[in-house]
Structure 1
């Protein structure tokens, strides 16, 4: 059974929360695939992960690269798993998609976007119906994540 986590953005944008989440995954030795809603957003995330912090970067690549399988983090606009990731992120309008085959599937959605909120609710129902262990996390006033369900 896959652990499915829903992260409801309210106080910070994706660009502020995704890099630290990816760092935590790498600290745990996990391989990650991040699916974004468009190729343009993949390009923006690619640039972000090289520059989000002056003293460090996140080792990553895109699924378009011939050596994608070698990267610990792969960015894509398609539902793929070229690096045999055990954690899958869906961001910026990407559907949660299939959770099977991953230890964790994580949907990060914009709580200020009614369409994203509706899609997340549908994904929640599908994850629960499929028997996955689903949890819902919301940003508190201090920016930390609080488990709500």
Structure 2
């Protein structure tokens, strides 16, 4: 069954959400996972694409938008089906994508702005009512 982790940032800045997603992707990639990042929209996906190129000067995260080279390991989409990915889903949308349950793990990134908090609380209740294993991670200094 899918395990769901909520990664809670103590800031309202939406840029922090992208940095947390990049950090999660980096950590998961170093552990051998394949990742699908579900961005809110195409603009956010392209911003995240740029961020992953610059994220850590000493590392390289092979990634791409759907169909691009590198997307086999880390794909950045915005609502479309994740292709062959089923390992880790990093969800940046404020809704739960219909394909979430095919993944072994889901990471929901939570910031302190009212819209994200309300959506995250609704997502927690959704997952909890269906019996998914939930984890909460409070992130400091992010």
Report the aligned-residue RMSD: 2.0
Report which structure shows greater RCO (CA 8 Å, sep ≥6): 2
1:129 matched to 2:129? The reply is yes
* Structure 2 partner of 1:147: none
Structure 1 residue runs of 5 or longer lacking an equivalent are: 145-149
- TM-score between both structures, scaled by the size of structure 2: 0.86
* Structure 2 partner of 1:6: 6
Contact conserved, 1:79 with 1:97, CA < 8 A, in 2? no
Q: Give the Cα–Cα distance (whole angstroms) in 2 for the partners of residues 131 and 17 of structure 1.
A: 26
From the superposition, tell whether residues 30 and 138 of structure 1 become closer, same or farther in structure 2 (CA, over 3 Å). Answer: same
1:61 matched to 2:69? The reply is no
1:138 matched to 2:138? The reply is yes
Moved over 4 A (4+): none
From the superposition, tell whether residues 53 and 47 of structure 1 become closer, same or farther in structure 2 (CA, over 3 Å). Answer: same
* Structure 1 partner of 2:28: 25
Contact conserved, 1:60 with 1:75, CA < 8 A, in 2? yes
Structure 2 residue runs of 5 or longer lacking an equivalent are: none
Aligned residues: 138
Q: Give the Cα–Cα distance (whole angstroms) in 2 for the partners of residues 47 and 6 of structure 1.
A: 24
* Structure 2 partner of 1:78: 79
- TM-score between both structures, scaled by the size of structure 1: 0.82
Q: Give the Cα–Cα distance (whole angstroms) in 2 for the partners of residues 57 and 14 of structure 1.
A: 20
* Structure 2 partner of 1:46: 49
> Could you tell which deviates more after superposition, 53-62 or 119-128?
53-62
- 1:83-94 residue pairs with structure 2 within 5 A? 83-91=84-92, 93-94=93-94
Q: Give the Cα–Cα distance (whole angstroms) in 1 for the partners of residues 138 and 46 of structure 2.
A: 27
1:59-96 Cα offsets, whole Å, 9 max, x none, are: 10111x2557x5211001114212323110111x3423
